[in-house]
């Protein structure tokens, strides 16, 4: 009796706690949901300038930049109402050029913000907070930023180049944006035909002598746009939303066919690793060099940094055959073949295979498969007769010759050699035999890729397209039946091979799913099979 009583008491307490947590916590959750009225905007700038002086005393200010720009416009004031000028350029900091000391910066914000709010509200207009601290320094931010980074693609680049063309000479003024830094004179200068992406120098954070990408772009872009607008020339956005709002980005004009950017870049390249020959006389090559159509690839991508991620040099500069520090020890072989990296040839081609028209077949190919050795030679082409293996001639000419010798049209067997219908009757039990519209399927697959140069080159062999379904067997005009390999399911000696019914369903349904076909549906048995009449 003596031990039972405390036990009873513990159970009682537990039950009470459980009841409270179920009812009490549930109610709290609901309340939280009702409170959260969040607004989504692209112009949210958190003001945490005081962070350079140590820990923030109050939560950071959630500042809506466009809201203020609009209000100031209405008062016929411009950016200089809040930002000062230095070297004829706006300084992004508020009402100051430098962060001097804690008290001074804090005073600048408090006197100017509250002062302006007071002035505005005195005229009877709606204005920002004046009295309570928490209105500017909220403990919980109920705003969600929808800020989208903007991509300065080929189309935008072309439009900027056009807009800044000299009317008389009809030449662009690249120096307006592109520059390099001279370490000795500590000045910016323009290096003709050395132009690169801003990101090569302007990194994520501000470093010595170079501002962060964020700062540099806001500094240069907005300043230029603002000056043009001031003299009534059509120009780019000045407000946050103009560049960073998703909807506004969609409205930015796109040039479909962008003329080539001229920077004396090569049209054709012969990618190869040079190693000294056996007798150390003249270069010899481990592999046949791979000709590369640089000019064509420029049009396949939106920016140069897709491939040239660190600088606009040739790949071999950093990615040497043995790997070097500049190339993070990634060998040229890896740089070209790593499927996981989008900058690599195979990585980018693999990404292209995710398009539905390619994925219909390619989705079924294992990610880690080793390509057949014959496919290596599609890129590492055999040198043409007449071109010696010791390439001493103009490499670019050779590359062009090799590329021009390529066939880039999808080919297959003659229509009469392709069976029109294939009747699958091996499994017929509940349903009638299935009539597969064999020729129609092939023609649909061919039709889907007929405009792709990439697909064209790799499928120029007659039997390649057949391999999409007739996999794991040698290429042939009459490949083996599906039943030659696929039989009864769960064969222990061939554990990885599906049975015949599984193979059919996986292949057919998988492909239909990738192509997003409405019919036949996977669960609509009678879409493909006719019910057997008993």
Footprint of other proteins on this chain (CB under 8 A)?
366-369, 489-490, 492, 495-496, 498-499, 501-503, 505-506, 509, 513, 516, 522-523, 525
* Residue 382: CA count within 13 A, CB half-sphere: 5
CA distances from 21 to 12, 106, 177, 277 (A): 14, 45, 62, 79
DSSP state of 88: T
Q: At its nearest, how many Å lie between other proteins and the CB of residue 356?
A: 12
User: Nearest 5°: phi and psi at 62?
Assistant: -95, 105
The answer to whether the beta carbons of residues 305 and 298 sit under 8 Å apart is no
Distance in Å, CB of 499 to other proteins, minimum: 6
Bridging pattern class, strands 268-271 and 61-64: unpaired
Q: Decide whether 323 or 520 has the Cβ nearer to other proteins.
A: 520
Minimum CB separation from other proteins for residue 346, in Å?
15
Q: How far is the CB of 532 from other proteins (least distance, A)?
A: 16
> Judged by CB, which is closer to other proteins: 378, or 433?
433
Cβ closest to other proteins, residue 110 vs residue 471: 471
Nearer of residues 125 and 530 to other proteins, judged by Cβ: 530
> Minimum CB separation from other proteins for residue 486, in Å?
10
Name residue 110's beta-bridge partners: none
Smallest distance, other proteins to C-beta of residue 522, A: 4
Contact 477, 426 (CB under 8 A): no
Tell the smallest beta-carbon distance from residue 454 to other proteins (Å). Answer: 20
Rounded least distance, CB 502 to other proteins, Å: 3
Q: Where are the alpha helices (DSSP H) in 363-499?
A: 373-379, 395-404, 438-449, 453-458, 482-485
Q: Where are the alpha helices (DSSP H) in 36-101?
A: 65-74
Note whether 512 and 528 are within 8 A (CB).
Answer: no
**Is the Cβ of residue 166 or residue 429 nearer to other proteins in the bound state?**
429
Shortest Cβ 505–other proteins spacing (Å)? 4
The C-alpha torsion from 506 through 510 and 513 to 514, rounded to 10°, is: 180
How near is the Cβ of 337 to other proteins at its closest, in Å?
Answer: 17
Residue number, 129 or 489, with CB nearest to other proteins: 489
Rounded to the nearest 5°, which phi and psi values hold at 313? -90, 170
- Helices and strands, counts by H and E, the chain: 21, 14
What count of Cα atoms within 13 Å lies in the side-chain half-sphere of residue 252? 23
Largest distance between two CA atoms of the chain: 108
Nearer to other proteins, 297 or 349 (CB): 349
Decide whether 232 or 516 has the Cβ nearer to other proteins.
516
Nearer to other proteins, 353 or 462 (CB): 353
Question: DSSP string spanning 357-369?
Answer: HHHHHHTTS-TTP
For 118-237, where are the E strands, in sequence order? 143-145, 180-182, 187-189
| Token couple for 243 | 């560049």
C-beta separation of 244 from 40 below 8 A = no
Beta bridge partners of 292: 269
283 or 499: CB nearest other proteins: 499
In this structure, what token pair is assigned to residue 358?
């390619």
Task: Quote the radius of gyration of the chain (alpha carbons, Å).
Answer: 33
Tokens encoding 386: 């007449």
Nearer to other proteins, 385 or 523 (CB): 523
Least Cβ distance, residue 336 to other proteins (angstroms): 21
């Amino acid at each position: 009796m003596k031990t039972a009583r405390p036990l009873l008491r513990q159970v009682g307490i537990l039950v009470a706690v459980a009841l409270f947590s179920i009812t009490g916590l549930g109610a709290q959750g609901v309340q939280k949901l009702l409170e959260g009225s969040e607004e989504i905007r692209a112009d949210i700038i958190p003001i945490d300038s005081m962070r350079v002086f140590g820990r923030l005393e109050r939560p950071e200010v959630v500042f809506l930049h466009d809201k203020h720009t609009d209000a100031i416009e209405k008062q016929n004031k411009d950016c200089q109402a809040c930002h000062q000028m230095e070297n004829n350029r706006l300084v992004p900091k508020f009402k100051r050029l430098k962060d001097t000391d804690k008290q001074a910066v804090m005073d600048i914000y408090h006197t100017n913000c509250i002062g302006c709010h007071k002035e505005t509200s005195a005229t009877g207009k709606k204005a920002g907070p004046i009295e309570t601290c928490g209105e500017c320094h909220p403990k919980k931010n109920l705003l969600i930023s929808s800020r989208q980074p903007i991509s300065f693609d080929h189309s935008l680049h072309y439009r900027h180049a056009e807009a800044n063309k000299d009317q008389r000479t009809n030449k662009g003024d690249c120096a307006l944006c592109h520059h390099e830094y001279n370490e000795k004179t500590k000045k910016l200068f323009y290096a003709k035909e050395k132009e690169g992406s801003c990101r090569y120098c302007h990194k994520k954070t501000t470093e010595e002598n170079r501002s962060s990408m964020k700062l540099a772009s806001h500094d240069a872009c907005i300043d230029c746009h603002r000056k043009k607008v001031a003299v009534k020339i059509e120009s780019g956005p000045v407000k946050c939303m103009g560049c960073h709002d998703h909807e506004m980005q969609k409205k930015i004009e796109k040039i479909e066919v962008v003329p080539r950017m001229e920077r004396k870049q090569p049209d054709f390249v012969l990618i190869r690793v040079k190693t000294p020959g056996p007798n150390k006389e003249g270069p010899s090559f481990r592999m046949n060099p791979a000709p590369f159509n640089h000019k064509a690839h420029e049009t396949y991508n939106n920016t140069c940094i897709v491939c040239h991620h660190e600088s606009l040099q040739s790949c071999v500069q950093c990615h040497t055959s043995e790997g070097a520090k500049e190339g993070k020890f990634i060998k040229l072989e890896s740089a070209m073949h790593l499927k996981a990296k989008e900058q690599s040839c195979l990585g980018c081609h693999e990404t292209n295979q995710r398009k539905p028209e390619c994925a219909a077949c390619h989705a079924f190919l294992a990610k880690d498969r080793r390509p057949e050795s014959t496919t290596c030679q599609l890129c590492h082409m055999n040198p043409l007769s007449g071109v010696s293996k010791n390439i001493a001639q103009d490499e670019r000419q050779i590359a062009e010759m090799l590329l021009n010798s390529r066939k880039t049209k999808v080919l297959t067997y003659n229509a009469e050699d392709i069976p029109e219908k294939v009747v699958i009757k091996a499994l017929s039990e509940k349903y009638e035999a299935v009539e597969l519209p064999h020729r129609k399927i092939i023609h649909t697959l061919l039709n889907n890729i007929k405009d792709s140069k990439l697909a064209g080159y790799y499928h120029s062999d007659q039997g390649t397209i057949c391999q999409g379904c007739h996999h794991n067997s040698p290429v042939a005009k009459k490949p083996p039946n599906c039943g030659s390999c696929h039989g009864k399911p769960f064969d222990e000696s061939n554990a990885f091979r599906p049975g015949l019914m599984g193979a059919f369903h996986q292949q057919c349904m998988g492909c239909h799913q990738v192509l997003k076909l409405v019919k036949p549906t996977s669960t609509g048995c009678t879409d493909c099979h006719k019910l057997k009449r008993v």
